[in-house]
Amino acid sequence: MPIRSLAAVALITTGLAAQTPAPPSNEQQIAAAVSVLPSEARPGATVLGYDAAGKLVTLRKGTGDMTCLGTDPKDKNFHVACYHNSMEPFMARGRALRASGVKDPEVDSVRFREVRAGKLPMPKGPAVMYQFFGGSFDPATGEVSGAQPLYVVYIPGATPQSTGLSAKPSRNAPWIMFPGTPKAHIMFTPKM
């Protein structure tokens, strides 16, 4: 390749590198991850986020009842989730299965078998999860804008008969998703 072409490639590469935003700091990831929680639960939450190599790591070991998963910097869409610590074995197993190459819906099939076999513990009572999808997080203000909230309460094994909830999706009332499974949960529409 002629020297001029190499110089052009170097300029283009340098320009692209300059346009790539720096990965968020640990503090920014923590602030974004806990933003979906009620304010009183934020300081004590354990936060999982991403290191410079893109590996999921514990950014902060909390003292509270919640675990938060920060948005993956490789994803273009903002998504954070915080769930009750009693759900962590189920969530961690899903992450491990996906990391080993298991694809959805087989991830749930494996987890459900393990729950039924007594190998994977589930909450003894209801367990909440808060999520934000889409939108963006402004680290300067600590504000989320344009995100869609989603709130669920896991009740493993719950059914329409055991809860009185419909299994049909609704925008106007809570409903139960994955009824009768270890992943059964009540869906809440945020504008209720």
Q: What burial letters (b/e) apply to 93-127, b meaning 16+ CB within 10 Å?
A: bbeebeeeebeeeebbebbbebbeeeebebbeeeb
Q: How far is CA 80 from the centre of its chain?
A: 5
Nearest CA-CA partner of 25 in 143, 146, 140: 140
Whole-prediction pTM value? 0.86
CA distances from 93 to 111, 123, 151, 188 (A): 7, 14, 21, 25
15's enclosing H/E stretch is helix 3-19
3-state secondary structure 177-189: ECCCCCCCEEEEC
Locate the domains of the chain by residue range.
Answer: 28-86+122-188
pLDDT in tens, the chain (192 residues): 444 443 443 444 444 444 545 668 999 999 999 999 999 999 999 999 999 999 999 999 999 999 999 999 999 999 999 999 999 999 999 999 999 999 999 999 999 999 999 999 999 999 999 999 999 999 889 899 999 999 999 999 999 999 999 999 998 899 999 999 999 999 997 774
DSSP 2: -
92, two tokens: 């961690």
91, two tokens: 């969530």
